Structure 1
Amino acid sequence: MTNQPKSFKQSFGLLDATMIVAGSMIGSGIFLVSADITRTTGSAGWLILIWIITGLLTVTAALSYGELSGMFPKAGGQYVYLKEAFGPLVGFLYGWSFFTVIQAGSIAAVGVAFAKFAAYIFPALSENNQLVSLGFLKISAAQVTSILLVVLLTFVNTRGVKEGKIIQTVFTLTKLAALFGLIIFGLLFAAKKEVWDANWATGFSLGKMDGQSLVAYSGLSVLGAIAGSMVGSLFSSDSWNNVTFIAGEIRNPKRNIGLSLFMGTAIVTMIYVATNLMYISIMPMQEIAYAENDRVGVVASRYIFGVNGTIIIAAFLMISTFGCNNGLILAGSRVCYTMAKDGLFFKRLGVLNKNAVPGKALWIQCVWASVLCLSGRYGELLDYVIFCVLIFYILTIIGIFRLRRTRPELPRPYKAFLYPVLPALYILAASVICFALLVYKPMYTWPGLGIVLLGIPVYYLVWGKNYKPETVESPAEAEIL
C-alpha cells in the first residue's frame, strides 16, 4: 500500500474535458425520443421548440456550474457542491441516487442499446435470442453483450486515465463527425420541399397525435404535455455534469471545467436541434411519430442511404453508445471514491490503485450496472428518477446563491453567467417542469422520490456517523484551499 498514489494525476486538457461532456451526453436518445415528443406535441414547431428549450436549460445549468467547479475543483463534482452548500445528508442523498439508479442505470441502458444496434449487424446478439430461461429470470444475448461491454470498459479504465481518455476523445470526435455528416447528407440529398412544407402546415399547434388527427389539449393539461414530452429530451441531454466528477484530474480546472461545460453542452444542443430539423425535412410527421420501435434515426438513415441505411446507422450508434458508456464509467466511479473518502460509502472504495484511478470504485459500479442489465428494470428506474435529477440540479444551482452568502471568502475564478438572473430563470423553469411532472405524470415522480428518500434511513443507520470530510485531496484543491 505504500506505493499507492495519494492523489489523481491531472491528465485531462480542455479538449479531453469537452469530449467528456459531449461524449457522455450523446448516446442513442437523439435517434429515438423524437418519436414520443412528436406524438405528444403533434407539430414540427413544438418538436423543435422542445429541443431548443431543453438545450437552453442545459446550457444555462452548465454555465452556472462553472462557478461551483472553480470553487471546488475536486473529484466528485455535483456531490461535493451539494455537500458544501447544504451539508452531508443532501450530498449523500445525491450520491445514493447517483450510484443506485442515475449512473448505473444509464450505464446499463446504454450498454443494452449498444447490443440492440449491434444486433442489426450481428443478429445473434439480439434480445430475442434467449440464452437462459429460468422462469423468474431470462437472459438474452443482448444483456450478456451489454455486460461484457461494461466489464471491458471498466477494465480499460482501471489501467489508468490515459487509456480511458484516448477512447473518450477518439470515439466522441468520431461520432460528432458522423452526426454532422448525417445532418449534411440528409439536408443535401434527402430533403424535400413538399415534405418540409407539409410538416410545417400545423406550425406550432399543440396537441396529442392520434393517428392522422391532432387532439388539442385543454387547460393546464398543456403544461403536463410539455413537461411529459421533455422527459426524453432531458435524458438525451443529461450527463453533461460528468466532467465535474473528474475535476481533480483536469489541468487548470479553474478555467477548463467551466469552458468545457459551456462548449460541450452548446455543441450538443446545436447538433440535436439540427438533427431534428433534418428529420422534418426528409420524413413526414406521421413517420417520425410512429417509427418502428421509435427508431427515428433508422428510418431517416434509410431515406438518406437507401437499403444500406440500417447498417450504416447501426454502426454509427455502436460507436456512439460505446463512447458514451466509456464516459459514464470513467466519471461515475469518482463520485463513489469521493463519498468513500468522506466516510459516506464503503471505505475500501476511497483508495486509488497503482495507476492512480479508483479501481475498486470502478469495479463495484461495474457489478451493480451489470445487475441492472440482468434485471431489465433500468429503463423504468431511469424514467422514475428524471424528476429527482431535476430536483438535484435545482438544488445545486440554489447552492450558488447559498454559498455566496455563507462562504463569500472562497475564491471564485469563474462566476455564474448573468448572475443572479440566469441561474434564477433556470430554477424557475426547472421547478415548473417538476411541478407539472408531479401533477400530470406521477409515474415519473413518486417512485423516483421514494428511491431518494430511502437514502435517509440508510444515511442515519449506516454511514452518517462516519462522516469525516477530506480537506485537501490534490494539488488543484490545495490551490483553492
Structure 2
Amino acid sequence: MGNNNNNNDEKDIMETDEDLSKKFRLKREITLLGGVSVIVGSMVGSGIFISPVGVLRNVGSIGASLGIWLLCGMVATFGSLTYAELGTMIPKSGAEYPYLREAFGPVPAFLFAWTSSIVLKPSAVAIIGLVFGEYVVRPFFSDGDVVPAMAIKLTSACAILLVGFINCYSVKIAERIQIVFTVAKLLALFIVICTGVYALSAGLTDNLESSFTGDIQWSTIGTAFYQGLWAYDGWNQLNYITEELQNPFVNLPRAIIIGIPLVTLVYLLTNTAYLAGLTMTEMMSSRAVAVTFGTKLLGAMSWVIPLGVAISTFGGCNGYTITGPRIIYTAARNGHMPEVLAMVNYKRITPVAAIFFNTLIALLVLVPNDFDSLVNYFSFSMWMFHGGSALALLVLRRTQPKRYRPYKVPIFIPIIVVVIALYLIFYPIITQPAWEYLYAALFILSGLLFYVPFIHFNIKLEFMEPVTDFLQKLLQVAPVDAPLPKDT
C-alpha cells in the first residue's frame, strides 16, 4: 500500500505545468519565495505586538521570558521539521488531515477536518481580523474614548471578505499580496529593532542588566508557553497547500529552514528592543506593548506601529485564508465533507466553495467576540492535532519503513514534539480547569454524530443533490479532473 501511494505521489509531483494545464485541478503556483512568505506571514500576525507582556507576566523574569521565546522558536522548528518529513512523504494538501488518515485511519482525520473547518481555522482568521479592526479603527477616536465594538467588527468583517474575494479570484495574486505584506511587516519590526538598538546605545540597559533577578513563576510557566506559541502559530501553514507548491520535495523543507529561524531571530530581537525601551512597569501595564513602545520612543513616527500591526494582521488573515480552505477541500475530496466543497471554479482554478465556507464561518465567529475563549479553545485543540501528527510520523516509520522519504528528520525530534504536545494539552486542564476545555473535547467528539451516519453508513440526504447542483451553478465550480465546460 505504501509503495502504491508513493508511486502515485511521485507521479503527481513530476507532472509538468503543460500536463497540469490539460487537467482540471489546482495548479502548482506557489514559489519558494511565496512559500516562505506563507510561513513568515502567517506566523508574524498580532502575537509579537501583544504576547510579550503575557509571557513576561506569567514567567516573572526578563531572562526567563527571553528563554521562553527561544524555546518556543525551537518547538516551532521541531514541529515544522517533523511536518517537512510528513509533507514530502505524503505530498498532499491539508497537512494534518492526510497524515492522520494514513497513520490512524479515517476517523481521526475526519475529527481533525471537522474541528479545523468549523473552529480552528475560521477562529484564527476571526481573531486576527479583530486585532486588525481594532488597530484600523482606533486612530479615529480620542485616547480616552471607548472604541465601539460594532465598528471593530464591521472593519474586521470587511477585511475578511476582501481577503476571501482575493483568494477566490487568484492564487497567484494572493501569493503576491502575501509576499508584499510579509516584507512590510518585517520592515515594521525592523524599525522596532533599530529603535531598541538606539535605546541600548543610549544606555537604557537596566532591564537587561537585571534580567535574571526575581524568581521564576514555575506554576504559570505553561501559560507563558501558550502565549509565546500563539505568536509562533503558523509554522505548519505551508503543509496545507503542498499540492500547489512548486517542487515540494525541495521547496517545502527549504522554506521551513529559511522561515522558522528568521521568525525566531526577529522575535528575540524585537523582545530585546521592547525590554531596552520600556521599564518593567510600562511593560506590565501595557495592553499592546508595541504601541506603548512606539509612543515612548518614536515620537511623531509612532503611527508606524499601528500601521505595522494593521499590515501584519491583514497579511495574517490572507495567509490563513490561503491555507485553511485546503483542509476543507482535501476532506471533501475524500468524501468527508459535502461534495461541492471539493469543487474548483473552472474559470479562476481556485477552491471557491471551500474558501466561501471558511470565510462564512469566520464571519459568524466574529459575532460573540469572546477573544479569550477563542484563544483557549484554539490553542488546546491545535496541540492535540500537532501531537497526533508527530505520532503519525512515528507510526509510519514503523509500519512503512521502506516508503520513499525525500527528507528524513532525526527520530528524537518528533518524539520531543509528542512530549511537548502532551504537556501543552494537559497543563491547562490540571492547573487551571475551565469549561472551555470540556467544550473543546465534546465538540471534537461530536463530529462522530455526523461521521457515523453520513460517512460510515453512507446515508444520503435527498435535498443535498439539488443544493449541490444550485451551488455548482452559482459558484461556477466543477469536480477535479472533470471535463471543462465548453465556454471556458
Which segments of structure 1 move beyond 6 Å, counting only runs of 4 or more? none
The letter of the residue matching 1:272 is: Y
Give deviations 1:450-481, integer Å, cap 9, x for gaps. Answer: 322222323223344459xxxxx89xxxxxxx
Q: Where does residue 450 of structure 2 map in the other structure? A: 458
Is 1:266–2:261 an aligned residue pair?
yes
Q: Where does residue 206 of structure 1 map in the other structure? A: 215
CA distance in 1, matches of 2:177, 2:458: 37
- Give 1:60 deviation, angstroms: 0.7
- Give 1:112 deviation, angstroms: 1.1
Q: 1:459 to 1:4 in 2, by over 3 A?
A: farther
Is 1:302–2:303 an aligned residue pair?
no
- Give 1:51 deviation, angstroms: 0.7
Q: Where does residue 319 of structure 1 map in the other structure? A: 311
Q: 1:385 to 1:325 in 2, by over 3 A?
A: closer
CA distance in 1, matches of 2:396, 2:279: 50
Q: Where does residue 136 of structure 1 map in the other structure? A: none
CA distance in 2, matches of 1:202, 1:259: 35
Give deviations 1:421-451, integer Å, cap 9, x for gaps. Answer: 2221222233233332221122363332232
Q: Secondary structure at the match of 1:375?
A: coil
Q: Secondary structure at the match of 2:234?
A: coil
Q: 1:205 to 1:390 in 2, by over 3 A?
A: farther
**Contact 2:185–2:308 (CA<8 Å) still a contact in 1?**
yes
Q: Secondary structure at the match of 1:73?
A: coil
1:215-254 to structure 2, matched below 5 A, reads: 217=217, 222=218, 224-254=219-249
Q: 1:285 to 1:256 in 2, by over 3 A?
A: same
Match of 1:285 among 275, 280, 290: 280
CA distance in 2, matches of 1:458, 1:4: 36
Q: Where does residue 325 of structure 2 map in the other structure? A: 333
Is 1:187–2:197 an aligned residue pair?
yes
CA distance in 1, matches of 2:109, 2:317: 24
Is 1:363–2:372 an aligned residue pair?
no
- Give 1:163 deviation, angstroms: 1.1
The letter of the residue matching 2:329 is: Y
Q: Where does residue 134 of structure 1 map in the other structure? A: none
- Give 1:229 deviation, angstroms: 1.4
Is 1:91–2:109 an aligned residue pair?
yes
Gaps of 5+ in 2: 1-20, 460-479, 482-488
What is the CA RMSD across the aligned residues, in angstroms? 2.3
- Give 1:280 deviation, angstroms: 1.0
- Give 1:200 deviation, angstroms: 4.0
- Give 1:397 deviation, angstroms: 0.8
Q: Secondary structure at the match of 1:10?
A: coil
Is 1:16–2:8 an aligned residue pair?
no
Q: Where does residue 419 of structure 2 map in the other structure? A: 428
Match of 2:75 among 57, 70, 80: 57
Give deviations 1:395-426, integer Å, cap 9, x for gaps. Answer: 1111111111212342111111xx21222122
CA distance in 2, matches of 1:88, 1:53: 34
CA distance in 2, matches of 1:5, 1:375: 43
**Contact 2:153–2:366 (CA<8 Å) still a contact in 1?**
yes
Give deviations 1:49-87, integer Å, cap 9, x for gaps. Answer: 111111110001111111111111122122111111111
The letter of the residue matching 2:304 is: I
Percent identical: 29
**Contact 1:70–1:413 (CA<8 Å) still a contact in 2?**
yes
Q: Where does residue 155 of structure 2 map in the other structure? A: 145
- Give 1:192 deviation, angstroms: 6.5
Q: 1:378 to 1:42 in 2, by over 3 A?
A: closer
**Contact 2:184–2:308 (CA<8 Å) still a contact in 1?**
no
Is 1:114–2:132 an aligned residue pair?
yes
CA distance in 2, matches of 1:388, 1:396: 13
Q: Where does residue 391 of structure 1 map in the other structure? A: 384
Q: Secondary structure at the match of 2:28?
A: coil
Q: 1:385 to 1:156 in 2, by over 3 A?
A: closer
Match of 2:340 among 348, 352, 355: 348
Q: 1:344 to 1:378 in 2, by over 3 A?
A: farther
CA distance in 1, matches of 2:127, 2:312: 13
| Length, aligned pairs only | 438
Give deviations 1:100-151, integer Å, cap 9, x for gaps. Answer: 2211011011111111111233349x99555xxxxxxxx6011011111111
Is 1:160–2:135 an aligned residue pair?
no
More displaced stretch, 229-238 vs 453-462: 453-462
Give deviations 1:245-274, integer Å, cap 9, x for gaps. Answer: 111111101111122122211111111111
Q: Where does residue 6 of structure 2 map in the other structure? A: none
CA distance in 1, matches of 2:147, 2:412: 53
1:1-12 to structure 2, matched below 5 A, reads: 6-12=24-30
- Give 1:359 deviation, angstroms: 0.2
**Contact 2:123–2:378 (CA<8 Å) still a contact in 1?**
no
Match of 2:430 among 419, 423, 439: 439
Q: Where does residue 411 of structure 1 map in the other structure? A: 404
CA distance in 2, matches of 1:352, 1:4: 15
CA distance in 1, matches of 2:250, 2:135: 38
Q: Where does residue 473 of structure 2 map in the other structure? A: none
**Contact 2:325–2:358 (CA<8 Å) still a contact in 1?**
yes
**Contact 2:57–2:284 (CA<8 Å) still a contact in 1?**
yes
CA distance in 2, matches of 1:231, 1:447: 19
CA distance in 2, matches of 1:198, 1:376: 35
Q: Secondary structure at the match of 1:408?
A: coil
Q: 1:203 to 1:420 in 2, by over 3 A?
A: same
The letter of the residue matching 1:352 is: V
**Contact 2:207–2:276 (CA<8 Å) still a contact in 1?**
no
CA distance in 2, matches of 1:459, 1:30: 38
**Contact 1:105–1:379 (CA<8 Å) still a contact in 2?**
no
CA distance in 1, matches of 2:187, 2:60: 31
Q: Secondary structure at the match of 1:367?
A: helix
More displaced stretch, 422-431 vs 86-95: 422-431
CA distance in 2, matches of 1:205, 1:463: 56
Q: 1:282 to 1:10 in 2, by over 3 A?
A: same
Match of 1:105 among 104, 107, 123: 123
Q: 1:323 to 1:430 in 2, by over 3 A?
A: same
